[in-house]
Amino acid sequence: MNIPKVLIFGYGNPSRGDDALGPALIESIEAKTLPAIECQNDMQLQVEHVTDIQDRELILFVDADASCHAPFHFSQISAVKDDSYTSHAMSPYALLHAYHHVYGMDAPPAFLLRVRGYQFELGEDLSRQATTNLSKARLFSQKLCNTPDVKKWLDYLR
């Protein structure tokens, strides 16, 4: 089986308003059917997801965030043992740390795209502002998908 070199993993609860930003972005990328890119989403990251990042060259996590500047924030991330390491839901940093613990090596280069959200109440739809931010994040993620190379992605940090 040929594993795509890039994994884009969105997480969030589609029933909690703007928390659906990660899965919504994944849905739009997945619709493009890009052979070098695998898309996955879940409500939260869990330790079992370490197997999903094995044998990848590049990873992008996508999540809603109530604290970043609009429309989104893109950063490179690395393994950190944080408080989520032993909880049911993990941060992407803790997942990378768990990967190192399980496989005895560093995880592939990883990045985090945090899309600014505003309303996270159960049963809410995406807010108008979050929908605008999602459109901008889609355009940005399209650039990432068109250049699936760590050096290119690092250029987008500047």
3-state percent helix, strand, coil for the chain, nearest multiple of 5: 40, 20, 40
pLDDT of amino acid 1: 62
Model pLDDT for residues 111-146, shown as the tens digit of each residue = 999 999 999 999 999 999 999 999 999 999 999 999
Rounded CA-CA distance 153/158 in Å is: 10
**Tokens at residue 5, please?**
């070199």
| Burial tier of 115 (Cβ tally within 10 Å: 0-12, 13-18, 19+) | buried
Model pLDDT for residues 61-116, shown as the tens digit of each residue = 999 999 999 999 999 999 888 765 544 578 999 999 999 999 999 999 999 999 99
pLDDT of amino acid 84: 57
> Could you write out the three-class secondary structure of 79-140?
CCCCHHHHCCCECHHHHHHHHHHHHCCCCCCEEEEEEECCCCCCCCCCCHHHHHHHHHHHHH
Q: Mean pLDDT, to the nearest integer, of 24-50?
A: 92
Q: What are the domain boundaries of the chain?
A: 6-155
- For residues 52 and 103, the answer to whether their CB atoms sit within 8 Å is no
pLDDT of amino acid 67: 95
Residue 51 pLDDT greater than 80, yes or no: yes
Rounded CA-CA distance 4/24 in Å is: 21
Residue 30 pLDDT greater than 80, yes or no: yes
Looking at 1.10.730.10, 3.40.50.1100, 3.40.50.1450, 3.10.129.10, the CATH number of the domain 6-155 comes to 3.40.50.1450
